[in-house]
Amino acid sequence: MNTVALAPPRKRRHLLRNSGFLALPLIILVWSVADPSLGRELLDWVPYLASGFMMNIVIALLAMTLGTLVGTLFGILELAPYRLVRYPVVAYVQVFRNAPHLVLIFATTYIFPFEIVVAGHYLPFPDWVKAVIGLAIPASAYVAEITRGAIQSIPTTQWEAAKGLGFSQGQALRWIILPQCLRRSLPPWMNLFASITMGTALASLVGVHELLHAATDASTAVRRLDFTIVAYLVVMAAFFMLCYPISRLTRRLEGRFNAA
């Protein structure tokens, strides 16, 4: 197989990929134009659906931030030389990596209180925050595994070399090991990001006002079969337009790092 033979299909594939990216929105657009009463109905609901999708994005971003912070710490602790530290962390990672996201969202929604008392003040603890925690728990377990894998992939000799240069263990981790880990763990981290983003749709099942829930509200109010179908297409298109670029970028990064 030489590159000359590959060139034309690759170009064609590129075209196919980009047209595929726009296929869902196009279907929605064509349908709305073909049936103007449907299009008008949909247009009325766009702001409501958009506010739902913002919620998905907010939940995903916060869950990933929280999950990454906790997960990185746990990943390092998984390699701690003390059993008393290591065992609980390993158990946490095992249980929550294996637990269905949906079950964790159910658990946090129904088990956490709706408000917490901090120094005599009642702070509300809304559902979407519980969904953030419900998704941050598995995210942290995955990030811990990614971090541990990345640290272990750095040859031991580098630790020794750092020691030889007078770095303490903490300094070596901060200045030599972690920067390299960052690069190695970026692609799996981005995969996780896409997966958590899609997981936010599960929050609809506990009544969080996100896109899928908004779409159900809309189809309940409109009560038209064709509108229901379009509403689901809109939900799919929205997630696809968000996640597909992420996964393309991830693959490009993976390719570059593998080549390096």
> What is the footprint of another protein within residues 19-48 (CB under 8 A)?
20, 41, 44-45, 47-48
The rounded distance, in Å, linking the Cα atoms of 129 and 139 is: 15
Contact set for another protein, span 190-209 (CB under 8 A): 194, 198-202, 204-207, 209
235 binds another protein (CB under 8 A): yes
The residue within the footprint of another protein, chosen from 11, 13, 14, 256 (CB under 8 A), is 13
Contact set for another protein, span 65-104 (CB under 8 A): 87-88, 90-92, 94-95, 97-103
Smallest gap from residue 177 Cβ to another protein (A): 21
106 binds another protein (CB under 8 A): yes
175 binds another protein (CB under 8 A): no
Q: CB–CB of 207/127 below 8 Å?
A: yes
The residue within the footprint of another protein, chosen from 34, 84, 111, 118 (CB under 8 A), is 111
Contact set for another protein, span 207-226 (CB under 8 A): 207, 209, 212, 216-225
CA atoms within a 13 Å half-sphere pointing along the CA-CB vector of 92: 22
Q: Which residues make beta-bridge pairs with 123?
A: 116
50 binds another protein (CB under 8 A): no
Q: Which residues make beta-bridge pairs with 122?
A: 117
- How far, in Å, are 62, 97, 154, 208, 214 from residue 53 at the CA level? 14, 26, 39, 11, 9
Greatest Cα-to-Cα distance within the chain, rounded to the nearest angstrom: 75
